[in-house]
A and B are shown apart, each in its own frame.
Chain A
Amino acid sequence: MAAESPIKTSPESEKTSSTPVSWAWILQRFSGLLLLVFLGGHLWVEHFMNTSAAVVASRLTHVVDDSLDIGLLISVLYHGLNGFRGIIQEMLPEGRGAWLNYAVFGLGLITVVWGLDILWAFWYHQPFLTL
């Protein structure tokens, strides 16, 4: 039936997003799995309650904890902001999402710098960029 029906849509049209959606999709899953490790570790190390500057600082002198915190910062921001972007993009009409990618990427970049500065303040006892 209808065997003459041609394919109507051209192959290269991964619309709406400047990042191919399949990358955004797989990275969302991947960062989610990473977060299980990083956030689990973060909560475990924090032990829910252990927050004086000295304790946090001594903890942060260890390489393992450093990478844990940097990894957590980056993966949580990717996962959270990419999820946020997806929700907004779904609400926008088709093909109206290009600015959103730049806006969310910029927000993520600023937040990473902010978070790194906080970590820096604990490592070197004074922030790189002061408030």
Chain B
Amino acid sequence: MYHKNTRGYKAFWVHRISGLLILGYLYLHLVLLSAILLPSGAAHFNAVARVVEQPGFVVADIVLFAIIVVHALNGIRLIAADFGAMIRENRLAIWLTMGIGAVMVFIAVLMLLPHIVG
């Protein structure tokens, strides 16, 4: 009724859902790459590659990158906890996770900006 869920619980669902999204993307990735399996595959592949270079897809790429970064950094936090590290400091660890993730996504945006704005 009133229960406020703890930060670890929220992080757990973020981890689960991001993991499932990445798994879904993996299959999408394989489907798109499968253009190469068609007869005269290189031409098909290049056609697909032209499409996914559109700015909209690059923005989606950044979102995907952000999801992967969140999952990876949170995973590192959990493995650290399995070695007994950053357990009492969990609050700090989660903030670190988010901070480092934000910086990494920011760098990715800077690197990909030319592909978005033209």
Interface residues in chain A, defined as those with a beta carbon under 8 Å from any beta carbon in chain B: 29, 32-33, 35-36, 39, 43, 48-49, 51-54, 56, 76-77, 80-81, 83-84, 87, 111, 114-115, 117-118, 121-122, 125-127, 129-131
Q: Within the complex, which residue of B19, B41, B53 is in contact with A121, where a contact is CB–CB below 8 Å?
A: B41
Q: Within the complex, which residue of A29, A43, A111, A130 is in contact with B30, where a contact is CB–CB below 8 Å?
A: A111
Among the stretches B2-10, B20-28, B84-92, B93-101, the one at the interface with A is B20-28
Closest residue to A29 on the B side, CB-wise?
B79
Q: Provided the pairs A29-B82, A36-B72, A126-B41 are in contact, do residues A49 and B112 lie with their beta carbons within 8 angstroms?
A: yes
Contact A127 B112 (CB under 8 A): no
Interface size class of B (residues with CB under 8 A): 20 to 34
Contact A52 B49 (CB under 8 A): yes
A4–chain B nearest beta-carbon distance, Å = 34
Given contacts A36-B72, A48-B112, A49-B112, 20 further A-B contacts (CB under 8 A): A29-B82, A32-B79, A39-B68, A43-B65, A48-B61, A49-B53, A49-B58, A49-B115, A51-B49, A51-B53, A53-B36, A53-B42, A53-B45, A53-B49, A111-B27, A114-B34, A118-B30, A118-B34, A127-B37, A131-B34
Contact A33 B79 (CB under 8 A): yes
B85–chain A nearest beta-carbon distance, Å = 14
Contact B72 A130 (CB under 8 A): no
A-B contact count (CB 8 A): 75
Contact B23 A84 (CB under 8 A): yes
Contact A51 B37 (CB under 8 A): no
Give the docked Cα–Cα distance between A111 and B115 (Å): 31
Find chain A residues with CB under 8 A from B36 CB: 53, 118, 121-122, 127
Q: Does B111 contact A (CB under 8 A)?
A: yes
Give the docked Cα–Cα distance between A125 and B2 (Å): 61
Give the docked Cα–Cα distance between A122 and B33 (Å): 10
Closest residue to A32 on the B side, CB-wise?
B75
Q: Does B11 contact A (CB under 8 A)?
A: no
Contact B46 A35 (CB under 8 A): no
Closest residue to A129 on the B side, CB-wise?
B37
Q: Does B118 contact A (CB under 8 A)?
A: no
Find chain A residues with CB under 8 A from B45 CB: 53, 56
Contact B23 A83 (CB under 8 A): yes
